[in-house]
């Protein structure tokens, strides 16, 4: 046996990464290793158990926008340099199933960036495993059916057992590198999500009239992104769209404002930005044909900044309108997540 101790740090929104960490821990216990399973929710300090023995340290996390979530990246950045320890990375990503075919998700930089960060801190990287557990991003699609979830889980459980057994026996496993060309091609999208996209998604959640102010969403939020404003839950830009609040709400009172979000996109890109361009052209401030290529490259950045600013302002308006029954009902019934076919995600429990 190569290792005497296993330490796993995990972050999990709805339970996928947590369950994968539990599977690995179980294999290690069966092999007689001392184990530590540590949740990094709301971390203020980083506790590292005694490393007097040969230790393997694992980091398990979901994939958000082809990245590790910001809380995980901050955790890795602050993680101390450790001598005589190896590390592995496991990222869960949006797996689907079409008939009998399992459709993998995409990692982007969710493996590459953490591996570089850990390598810089002196770790030996012995495992890089993507895991296609069920997609749970309810902002974009309804939760999968229970039968499909169980089928995907059964397959992934076997994959994790093999991965853990091989690693603990001293073998190196780098399955994540098989998709390296695709992951490298996704870097621009990963960067766009981290710098801009996640702020848009953070402002799509609202509490409907079904909310009883039980504060479960606030107590469950792993990054403390929800606060009470005007006696209603308010999602700040710290939100990482992990979906824990949506799935833990006992009254199904948290919805994605699909209709309102779509309206904002139309207003910004169809009305507001063209209007700004026309004003700039009218006063001869902007002449696209004469501008340098450098300006052209930065114009998309300017557009995105305008969009994010408008989202910030419009969300305050949205939150204000949700106080009124008529506006609340209109916004709620324009949200796809209001309807029964838009299932919440419920992973199997371990």
pLDDT tens, per residue, the chain with 350 residues: 689 999 999 999 999 999 999 999 999 999 999 999 999 999 988 988 888 788 999 999 999 999 999 999 999 999 998 877 899 999 999 888 888 889 999 999 999 999 999 999 999 999 999 999 998 888 888 888 999 999 999 999 999 999 999 999 999 999 999 999 999 999 999 998 998 888 888 888 999 999 999 999 999 999 999 999 988 999 998 999 999 999 889 999 999 999 988 988 888 888 888 887 787 666 666 555 555 555 556 677 777 788 888 888 889 899 999 989 999 999 999 999 999 899 888 888 76
**Domain 5-186 shares a fold with domain 197-338:** no
DSSP one-letter code for 95? B
35 φψ region: left (φ > 0), alpha (ψ -120 to 50), beta (else): beta
**What pLDDT does 137 receive?**
84
The superfamily in CATH containing domain 5-186 is: Flavodoxin domain (3.40.50.360)
DSSP one-letter code for 195? I
Note the maximum CA span of the chain. Answer: 75
**What pLDDT does 254 receive?**
93
**What pLDDT does 284 receive?**
64
Sequence-distant (≥ 6) Cβ neighbours of residue 195 within 8 angstroms: none
Instruction: Kindly report, residue by residue over 242-263, the tens digit of the pLDDT.
Output: 999 998 899 999 999 999 889 8
Query: Under CATH, which number does the domain 197-338 receive?
Result: 3.30.70.20
**What pLDDT does 1 receive?**
66
DSSP annotation string for 27-88: HHHHTT-EEEEEE-TT-SS------SS-EEEEEEEE-BTTB--HHHHHHHHHSPP-SSEEEE
Would the CA dihedral through 324, 327, 331, 334 be positive or negative? positive
**What pLDDT does 70 receive?**
95
Structure token pair of residue 62: 């979901």
**204 three-class SS:** coil
Annotated domain spans of the chain: 5-186, 197-338
C-alpha distances out from residue 215 to 211, 223, 234, 252, Å? 9, 15, 11, 13
Specify the pTM.
0.90
**What pLDDT does 293 receive?**
55
């Amino acid at each position: 046996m190569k290792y005497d101790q296993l330490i796993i740090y995990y972050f999990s929104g709805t339970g996928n990464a947590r369950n994968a960490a539990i599977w690995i821990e179980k294999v290690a216990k069966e092999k007689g290793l001392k184990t530590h399973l540590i949740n990094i929710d709301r971390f203020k300090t980083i506790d590292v158990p005694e490393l007097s023995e040969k230790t393997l340290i694992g980091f398990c996390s979901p994939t958000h926008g082809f990245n590790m979530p910001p809380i995980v990246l901050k955790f890795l950045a602050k993680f101390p340099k450790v001598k005589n320890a190896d590390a592995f990375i496991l990222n869960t990503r949006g797996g689907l199933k079409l008939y009998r075919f399992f459709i993998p998700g995409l990692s982007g930089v969710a493996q590459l960036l953490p591996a570089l960060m850990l390598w810089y801190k002196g770790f030996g990287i012995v495992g890089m495993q993507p895991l296609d557990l069920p997609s749970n991003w309810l902002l974009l699609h309804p939760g999968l059916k229970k039968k499909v979830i169980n089928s995907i889980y059964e397959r992934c459980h076997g994959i994790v057992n093999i991965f853990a057994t091989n690693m603990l026996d001293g073998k190196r496993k780098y399955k994540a590198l098989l998709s390296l060309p695709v992951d490298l091609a996704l870097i621009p999208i990963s960067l766009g999500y981290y710098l801009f996209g996640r702020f848009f998604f953070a402002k799509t959640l609202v509490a409907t009239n079904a909310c009883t102010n039980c504060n479960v969403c606030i107590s469950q939020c792993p990054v403390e992104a929800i606060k009470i404003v005007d006696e209603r839950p308010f999602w700040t830009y710290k939100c990482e769209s992990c979906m824990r609040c949506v799935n833990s709400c006992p009254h199904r009172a948290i919805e994605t404002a699909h209709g309102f979000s779509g309206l904002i996109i139309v207003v910004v890109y169809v009305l507001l930005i063209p209007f700004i361009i026309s004003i700039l052209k009218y006063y001869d401030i902007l002449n696209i044909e004469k501008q340098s290529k450098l300006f052209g490259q930065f114009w998309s950045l300017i557009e995105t900044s305008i969009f994010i600013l408008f989202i910030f302002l419009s969300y305050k308006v949205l939150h204000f309108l949700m106080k009124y029954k008529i506006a609340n009902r209109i916004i709620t019934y324009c949200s796809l997540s209001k309807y029964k076919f838009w299932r919440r995600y419920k992973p199997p429990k371990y």
